[in-house]
Structure 1
Amino acid sequence: MSSIVRTAEPLFLLAGETAPEEELAQGLIDADEQVFAATYRRWSPLVHTMAARSLGDAREAEDVAQQVFLAAWRGRAGFHLERGPLGAWLVGITRRKIVDALAARTRRLRLTAAAAQTTDAPVPHQEASATDRVLDRVLLLDELSRLPVRQQEVLQLAFFEDLTQMQIAERTGLPLGTVKSHVCRGLLQLRRTLGEGS
C-alpha cells in the first residue's frame, strides 16, 4: 500500500507516513504549502537537534530552526534537486544559521562586556543613578545590535573607540561618504526605536 494519497491538488500523507524526498523537493519548488508543512515535520527534529547541540540553548535552537525553514521557503527558487537532496540542502542552511547565531551571541557578549566596563568610569554631574545608567546603556547596546552589521561597526568605532569618520573609513576600507551615511542612518534608526520606547 502506498503511503501517499494523491488528489487533484496537493500531496496528502496518512498519519505517521512520509513522502519520498523527491516529491517533497518538488512540492517546495512549486511553493506547495502543504508539502512544505510535511517537509517541516520530516526535517525539523534534525534541524533542531543540530542547533541545540551546537548552541547548547533550547530557545536559541528553536529560533534557528524557524530561521532555517523560513530561509528554505524564501530561497526555494535556489534549490535544485540535481545538485543534491533536499535534506542535505536543509542541513547546509542549518549550519549557516548556527554560525550566524554563534556570531550574534559573540557580538552580544562583547557589547555587554563593553557596557559593563564603561559603567565603571566616573560620570561628571551624575543625576541618574548607576542602575539607570546601566539600564540605559544595555538598552542602547540592544538596539545597536539590531542595526545592520556595517552600521553597528561604524557606530561602535565612532562612539566606543572615539574615531573620526575619516579614521573609520581608513580602518574599514569604506569610502568616507559611505561611513557618513552609515552613521547618519544608524543614528536616525536608534533615535526612532529609542524614541518609541519612551
Structure 2
Amino acid sequence: MHDLPRISPTGGQRYDVTALTDGDDHARLVAAFKAGDEHALAEAYARWSSLVYTIAVRSLGDPPEAEDVTQKVFIAAWRGRATFEPSRSRLPAWLVGITRHTVADAHEARSRRRRVQEAVVFERELSQADESADLADRVMMSDELQRLGPVPQQVMQLAFYEDLTHTQIADSLEIPLGTVKSHIRRSLTRLRVRLEANDDTH
C-alpha cells in the first residue's frame, strides 16, 4: 500500500474541498479509489488529510494523537473501500464519518488507559494500607505478648508465630496438653481485654 505521509498542524496543506470534488473530477477519483488504484489513495490523502486532521485535533486536543487518527482513517478507508457507496455520499463525507468513529475509539482508548491506571494506583494503595495494618497488628500483638508470663508467652508465640498445634506445643515445651489449652484460653482472654481497651482509648 502507498505510504501515507505524516502531517502536522502547520505542515498540512489545506484544500478547497468543494472545488476539487465537483463533477467528473470527483467521479474519476472515486472510481479509481474503489478499483484499488493506490495513486487515488495518495490523491485522496493529499486532498482531505488536513480536513481529517482538523476534526481529530479539535476533538482530541493532542496533535500527535490527531496525526495517528489521520493515518488510521485513511488506512481504514482504503481497506474498506468496497463498502463505499458513491450514490449515498461523497468521498470526503464518507471520510468524515470514518474520522468520527476513529476519534470516538481514541477517546474510549484514553478512558480505558485512565481506568487501568486508576485501578493500578488503587490496588497499590490498598496493598500498602493492608501491609501497614498488618504490621501495626503484629507490633501490637507482640507488645501484648511481652506482658504475659514466661510460659504463657512461649505457648502463645508457638501457637501464633510458629503455627504449631496444641499437641506440638505440649511436646515442644514438655508440659501437659491440658495446660497448653488453659494457657492459650486465659492468654486470649487477657489479650482481647487489652486490645479492646486500646481500641476504646483510640
**TM-score, normalised on structure 2?**
0.51
Rounded Cα–Cα distance in structure 1 between residues aligned with 2:96 and 2:127: 49
Partner amino acid for 1:62?
E
- Bigger helix share: 2
1:151-193 residue CA offsets vs partner (Å, 9 max, x unmatched): xxxxxxxxxxxxxxxxxxxxxxxxxxxxxxxxxxxxxxxxxxx
Unaligned 5+ residue runs, structure 2? 1-18, 132-202
Deviation, 1:122, is 3.0
Q: RMSD value over aligned CA atoms?
A: 2.1
**2:21 counterpart of 1:24:** no
Deviation, 1:26, is 1.0
Deviation, 1:25, is 1.0
Equivalent positions of 1:1-198 (< 5 A) are: 20-122=25-127
State how many pairs are aligned. Answer: 110
Return structure 1 stretches of 4+ with deviation > 4 angstroms.
Answer: none
Unaligned 5+ residue runs, structure 1? 1-16, 126-198
Larger Rg: 1 or 2?
Answer: 2
Q: Which gives a bigger RCO, structure 1 or 2 (Cα 8 Å, sep 6+)? A: 2
Rounded Cα–Cα distance in structure 1 between residues aligned with 2:42 and 2:33: 9
Deviation, 1:18, is 5.2
Deviation, 1:90, is 0.3
Percent of aligned positions with the same letter in both sequences?
Answer: 47
Partner amino acid for 1:85?
R
